[in-house]
Amino acid sequence: MKIYFSGSIRGGRSFKEIYNQLINHLKNYGIVLTEHIGDVNLTESGENISDEDIFNRDIKFLVDSDILIAEVSTPSLGVGYEIALAEKIGKKILCLHKYEEGKKISAVISGNPKLNFKSYTEIDEAKKIIDEFINNNGKR
């Protein structure tokens, strides 16, 4: 299985440790095409390649993937774009959100019936959600 993991880079890296743990868990199921998202040394400055190269690479990865797993707790234009494109091209999508009292996620994500949107409080809970999603072949 080819997995596209989406998480914020330029929008903020406060969840980089969570990304890293989720990506390591996803490796049990296949190849994570965007493993660099979990690199704890990657800063908000991003990678040392052009924006156009990043766009072209990531779109190819998304098209080639079987599923999209997005951690959406940190608002990110790029993550939103990837989710919309994945929906348009028929990918199975799981959006994970770390629940925090008083903090809401975009209704365009949480209210979209075509997305699997799940909140979690602890990393182990997020891993179980991933397991269920993948074991159900990405079905809602």
Give the domains, in start order, of the chain with CATH numbers: 2-135 (3.40.50.450)
Please tell me what DSSP assigns to residue 29: T
* CA 82 – CA 96 distance, rounded (Å): 14
Looking at residue 102, its pLDDT comes to: 86
What pLDDT was estimated at residue 60? 98
**Cβ pair 83, 106 in contact under 8 A:** no
Distance CA 124, CA 140 (A): 20
pLDDT of residue 40: 83
- Least Cα distance to 109 among 128, 84, 140 occurs for 84
pLDDT score, position 134? 96
- Average pLDDT for runs of 10 along the chain of length 140: 95 91 97 92 82 96 98 94 97 96 90 95 98 78
For residue 42, give the H/E element and its range: none
